Amino acid sequence: MAAPVAAAHFHCLMHQLKFFVETRAFGVCAALGERLGLATRSVRLSFIYLSFLTAGSPVLVYLILAFWREMRHSLRKERVSVWEG
């Protein structure tokens, strides 16, 4: 009886982790796909293939884009006014 419950809990945790990674952990491929009008899956596969063909140099580009995206996101956050208490 406990095994199905544990399996369901594990599946739920994996789904939450996948959702977090796809939406919060940078999301460079998703953002790039949206901007270019391409499917996220196609952008991710292209990134993987390019990484293999060019000995990993797109990883550096990915990290730079991820850093830039997170900086833009943190700068666009709504700031609390000094006058609000």
Q: Is the whole-model pTM more than 0.85? A: no
Q: How many CB atoms neighbour CB 24 within 10 A?
A: 10
* pLDDT for position 37: 92
User: Domain extents for the chain?
Assistant: 28-77
CA dihedral sign, ordered 24, 54, 40, 19 = negative
> DSSP 3-state assignment of 81?
coil
* DSSP structural state of residue 79: P
pLDDT in tens, 23-73: 666 678 888 888 899 998 888 888 888 888 888 788 888 888 888 887 777
Give φ, ψ of 35 to 5 degrees.
Answer: -65, -40
